[in-house]
A and B are shown apart, each in its own frame.
Chain A
Amino acid sequence: MKKVFVTGLGTISAIGNNVAESYRSLLAMRSGISAMQLLDSNLKSTLPVGEIKLTNTQLLQLLGISHSQRIYSRTALLAMIAAKEAFHHAQLHRRPLARTGMFGGTSVGGMDRGEEFYKDYLASPSLAKIDYAKVHDCGESTECVADMLGIQDFVTTISTACSSAANAIMQATKMIQLGLLDTAIAGGADAFSLFTLNGFNSLKILSDEFCQPFDSNRKGLNLGEGAGFIVLESEEIVEKNHKTPLAEITGYGNACDAFHQTASSADGQGAWLAMNAAIGQSGIAPEQIGYINMHGTATPNNDLSEGTAVKRIFTNGVPAFSSTKAYTGHTLAASGGIEAVFCTLALQHGVAFPNLNFQTPIEELGLVPATDVTSIPNLKHVLSNSFGFGGNNTSLVFSKC
């Protein structure tokens, strides 16, 4: 099978509008969690979130689109910004595209527009904005990116809740490994909507304080919004164009917990299966993983279950680990894409990013995450976990090349 390299990164989240800003925030231990300003919710004053403080008009400006007749969902705008950055970072705009695929992950797609349409539709169907309904579905944001970048060879959208972007990256990697594509843009995007915010609130897993992943006193998650995309290229293309790749994707694993729609099993069996498959495929021993970017949502259930599974995998000692969700909030389907960007940065710079807000280890686990920017000399392999509702668990291994 062909090797698959990461050659471009792009992200936007509460800690930055691009990769450079995000990296600076990561090093400065600057969280993006704050009071809601743009989303007009009655929960505004009680729930802190990882919100991008740019209106849709400002996001359009960031894209250089001044006069648009087309209606974009916020998810599509975030996806376009992050994917465009990755595309340019990989210099894909400088030459004709090889066989290129677009792999988007999203959980609610254009729900921000959909719910606005639906509210008007309930009041008076004939007055509701039909153009808003048109961009509700999940495929729309992916097609906005594909059409903007001129990608036609393979265009797909995956929705496996919070592992969507990780599965998009996995599928893109598979197709390049098999020689079915040369290049891919893969990742995910999710914007805030009242639907999502109220949905997570109804599950009673949102914290009214800054979230504390892997802390004994964690109260739940902070929602976030954002997008993260990476460019993947085959080794032939990388060699042909004399590129220096940023990282290699050496392993992936996808498994289903098959336990409960919104809860993880106590022993984290699905998580264990996904991590075990990913590490196994990369052909390394667990000890060779130098940093784990955890799913770490800061809900009581996820962190205990994930921590348990990690201890079962790393029987000779758990490596440096952290959840970066205290920075960005839980960006749902985008998280695997944003964290793929963070994992590549970690490998490039030989660092583990801190797990903000950590104070007390979870008693049952006794695990202490990295609490400062930690230099890891010789960091060769990074594991990234993305676990979704429905037990859709995916792990990726990023390796130095």
Chain B
Amino acid sequence: MSSNSTASASAAKTRVPAAPHKQRSFMKSKRPAIPYLGWMLIFTIVPLVMVVYYAFTDSKGHFSLEAFENASVYSEVFLYSLLIALISTVICLVLAYPLAFSISRCSQRAQSTIVMFLMVPMWMNFLLRIYAWVLILQNYGPLDMILNFFGIDITLIGNSGAVIVGMVYEFLPFMILPLHTVMSKIDPSLIEAAQDLGCNRIGVFRKVIFPLSIPGIISGVTMVFVPTASTFLVAQYLGGTQFMIGDVIERVFQSDHHTGSAIAVVLMVVILGCLVFMNRFGDEEAVS
């Protein structure tokens, strides 16, 4: 028994120097990524391949572009969705940029508190938030009543404006967060250096803060534009009869996998194209 324990102790002793080496190789190893890679393979890559497969085949499983022909019926909805997404993204950017800038000038503690409050609406269910907007904007709802009182008689719900309001509300935090992250990392001494070299406030913004915040703009725009272009339900509840492409995909897919897939593929390619273009633009801006 005693000899056994000493043997194991000596074995443990010899293993000790190997431990740090092992740890280092663990830190460098890519093995920890395996669970996610497996997840992605099963639930992202495989469905993606299936969607592409459905888009390019007919109901008998032969190669066919019929689905795309069917999908072209929805080109107007498609362009409308991109337009709504673009407008929502621009409004988000215009609202979020100055806000993110002022937050990034606060003390560290104030910053984390404000960021937490910005996240509060996201603790609520997505659908509930949309319902809330329906209640606010509906005919004889609170906002409508107030406007009526002042003699303004307009319909607040069931149009593109309501959809944009809903989109901006849903996705504004996704614009603020990346902008804030990038801006809070701008070294305050860079701002002082610019002032020192003769920049007034506008100059500091134009020559230092704006160029250094471009990466934040790009990721913010990406995180808002992509979901607004493809989301569904928002338009169904707030947009009246004017659906967006996400809603169309949802409806069509239920009856016709092939056409639904074709629309999804087109949407994916267009969004991808937008992102590539924007990243290229961002790189050039950062260099000049």
The answer to whether A binds B is no
